[in-house]
Amino acid sequence: MSGSAAAPGPILAPAPAGPVEPLAAPPTFAIVITAYEAAATIADAVRSALAQEHPAAEVIVVDDGSEDDLAGALAPFGEQIRLVRKENGGGASARNAGVEACRSEFMAILDADDRYLPGRLRALAGLAAARPDLDIVTTDSRFVVDGEPVGRFGAENRFAVEDQQAAIFRSCFLGGWPAVRVEALRRVGGFDERMRIAYDWDCWLRLLLSGSAAGLADEPLYDYVLRSGSLASSRVASLWERVALLERAGAEHSLDPPHRAELDAAIRRRRREAAREEVAAILAGAGDRRRLRELAGAEGGGGRERALAALALAAPPLARRAIGSGPGERRIG
């Protein structure tokens, strides 16, 4: 493995708390690819990991109980990769198996249907060497549809430099694909296996609240492949899980008044978004109408979401119009 890495492009990161001495050589990286029923896409992901200009110390594939021919798809790579097999337990469980398998200082995440551009690990290693005080390092990513880039993650989700603890309440500005210091991941207990969807955001939140800081090499070096066919109900479940992770953060962490206010505002905003999307999905025939009564009478819910659910029960056409005219809201169905 190369003992040095080229300096990354523009860096976005909080100012260090004190003097920082760049490392003479970059830390080691394991690229961890978690896979479930991913035989059709895993080879492209692995090839992109092996084609890095700055080679990874390890390329680890975690098979989360797949029943397709994942082993056959991985066979051409032989000993270039390490395969970890486990019973199916979900994405968080697979990520934790990757954490346990890592022998490197950083775990760099790659999903089985995504790809690294050749310079990604070079940029991550250069950033980690230049700023050894950072526990989380990442790059920008490209959204890819039908093989064509259609935009950048950073254009829609601005990377936060100031007060990252407050910013992580508002949005998952790190995305789902950073490289994370393994020691820090283990310190916060890894990924929460109770969560099926938003476990990445939950983990970054806990890391930042524990004192970790994150930096970005501002180049789009990760291809995030968007696929059609996701159901509105899946998005609704994701939105409610985001509410749950924020509520749990409020219960489990001692926050100063400004951060508590930021968190409370984020919870209210996410509740409105989740309720609005669920009502829209139900009106479009993608949900159970009995949920409208629950939403209309939900304790702790805001008045707007309760009123919208009640309107959907009493006058669905008016509710559809209200959803379609809401400022800044995305209409479903």
Could you tell me the CATH number of the domain that includes residue 123? 3.90.550.10
Host domain of residue 254: 232-325
Whether residue 331 is contained in a domain is answered as no
What value does the mean pLDDT of the chain take? 88
Contact between residue 218 and residue 137 where contact means Cβ atoms under 8 Å apart: no
Whether residue 5 is contained in a domain is answered as no
* Total number of domains in the chain: 2
**For position 330, what pLDDT does the model report?**
35
Domain boundary pick from 198, 225, 252: 225
**For position 302, what pLDDT does the model report?**
61
Other residues' Cβ atoms within 10 Å of the Cβ of residue 103: 11
Q: Considering the entire predicted model, what is its pTM? A: 0.86
Whether residue 333 is contained in a domain is answered as no
- 215 and 239 belong to one structural domain: no
- 209 and 270 belong to one structural domain: no
**For position 306, what pLDDT does the model report?**
64
- 153 and 239 belong to one structural domain: no
Which residues have CB under 8 Å from 195's CB, separation 6+? Answer: 92, 202, 241, 244, 245
- 172 and 256 belong to one structural domain: no
Whether residue 103 is contained in a domain is answered as yes
- 262 and 281 belong to one structural domain: yes
- Measure the CA–CA gap between 322 and 199, rounded to whole angstroms: 32
Residues of the chain with pLDDT under 50: 1-2, 229-232, 326-333
- 221 and 294 belong to one structural domain: no
Whether residue 120 is contained in a domain is answered as yes
**For position 2, what pLDDT does the model report?**
47
Whether residue 146 is contained in a domain is answered as yes
- 72 and 133 belong to one structural domain: yes
Q: Residue 307: name the closest of 218, 159, 318 by CA.
A: 318
- 247 and 217 belong to one structural domain: no
User: What are φ and ψ of residue 298, in 5° steps?
Assistant: -65, 125
Whether residue 330 is contained in a domain is answered as no
**For position 68, what pLDDT does the model report?**
95
**For position 280, what pLDDT does the model report?**
81
